[in-house]
Amino acid sequence: MRAWGLSVVLLMVVLAVAEGRILFQDDFEGETIGAEPSKWMVVDDPPGDPPGEIAEDPEDSRNKVLLASLRGDRNGRVYVVGEADWADLVVQFDWYLAVEGVQHGTVFRYQDRNNHYLIDRRSPAAGDAMDFWRRQNGGWTNVGRAPMTVPPQVWYTTMLILRGDTFIAKMKERDDPTSFKELDPILEAQDGAFASGVLWHLRR
């Protein structure tokens, strides 16, 4: 077993809000362990940066997951899915923190490193919360925060509902059978800086 100081993504599904049509889906099962994810594009590739890779699920060796770049933070290699005109979406993904102290985030309406939105889970040392951020011209603005304790070594499922300038996050343990329709949002935010853009997962 490799050292898991990180978060991983098991499954991501993206739906267009207006039509309920699936735009993208990946469970990584068709991929090769150690390879980069074939359905994802690299939009930023700093020299010498290690790639992300397909890895075994730390809880189930029969399952494959995406392990982000070892520099999966904002200074590392950026894997994205989607198109520049992706705007109103429902994004659902499973994620897992192998150890305490790491953070996990999803970037949406990505323009470039210095212009995008980020929803992330902050470690206890960084506030033990879920945050919505706007990064614009290289500066950060917090546009929403909710306290949130996420023990490591548990699979979670997050749903993001992005509609116009309104962003909603719902979350539950992956194995909780409650439907998302029955769950109240854990975080809502409004911001109108970026109307569309691709999606990106990161951890650090």
Chosen residue from 4, 23, 27, 174 binding Ca ion by CB under 5 A? 27
Between 64 and 116, name the residue whose CB sits nearer to Ca ion: 64
Q: Give the phi and the psi of residue 69 in degrees, each rounded to 5.
A: -50, 145
Whole-number minimum distance, CB 61 to Ca ion, in Å? 12
Nearer to Ca ion, 9 or 87 (CB): 9
Give the nearest distance from C-beta 31 to Ca ion in angstroms.
9
**Vertex 65: Cα angle to 60 and 70 (nearest 5):** 120
Distance CA 174, CA 50 (A): 29
Q: DSSP H helical segments within 2-152, as ranges?
A: none
Q: What gap in Å lies between CA 80 and CA 171, rounded to an integer? A: 22
Closer residue to Ca ion in complex, CB, 27/88: 27
- Considering only residues 60-119, where is the footprint of Ca ion by CB under 5 A? 63-64
Q: What angle (nearest 5°) sits at the alpha carbon of residue 93, between those of residues 196 and 76?
A: 65
x/- string (CB under 5 A) for Ca ion, residues 37-56? --------------------
The least CB distance from residue 57 to Ca ion, in Å, is: 7
Q: In angstroms, rounded to a whole number, what is the distance separating the alpha carbons of residues 71 and 77?
A: 7
Binding site for Ca ion (CB under 5 A): 27-28, 63-64
